[in-house]
Structure 1
Amino acid sequence: MTVHYPHHPLFGKRVRRQGVDHREGGAVAHVETAPGNVIVIPTWMLDPIAYAGMEIGKPRASLEALIMAFELGDDAWDEPAPERSRTDGIGHVVDGGGLCSGEGGAA
């Protein structure tokens, strides 16, 4: 399979799907990006037609707000993910606990 969503860091790369989970927000695929490295991404990012129908809307946050959020959250990324944790491809831990695993942090 190929990641077709142009804003994903793995855009255009081939990945191997390991399975699919159906969650409240929609289906997500567990994909292997390299031997032993499994991430979770929404299944629509693997669909070549899904993004074609999307419209790019007006920004919802100002550049200043994004910079401020980045600066506030920058320290959170200094800690490595717990050993044997999987990430979603952009550094968010999807299992194993931690700031971005749904235990008090962003999902």
Structure 2
Amino acid sequence: MDDLERIAAEIMAYYRALDECATLRRHFRHADEEGGLWYIEAVPDRGEWIVVKQAELTAAGQLHRYSWEHLEDENGGLTDQVVDPEQDPLEAISVEEFQVVWTR
């Protein structure tokens, strides 16, 4: 296994552990400049909110989903930026609203 494969495996393992062990989750929605909607599931880790699931519903109606199981593709990838609900332009949503989009 080369260094890039090892790093990718470590990143996947980190997000998987966060997702599988989380007891607290928060869900958000954000509209982008192109008319797309972003749906985010975040969990706490060391005092920060880490995105473990992210779905983009584009203005054209395409859905792109990212999590530890699918970190990235040609359309984008799971953000590595922490979420700050107090500072970021995010709207809190219910888990049910998130799940409707995530399971679409």
Same fold (TM over 0.5): no
With a CA cutoff of 8 Å and minimum separation of 6, indicate the structure with the bigger relative contact order: 2
Task: Answer 1 or 2: which has greater helix percent.
Answer: 2
The two structures have a TM-score, normalised by structure 1, of: 0.29
The two structures have a TM-score, normalised by structure 2, of: 0.30
Task: Answer 1 or 2: which has greater strand percent.
Answer: 2
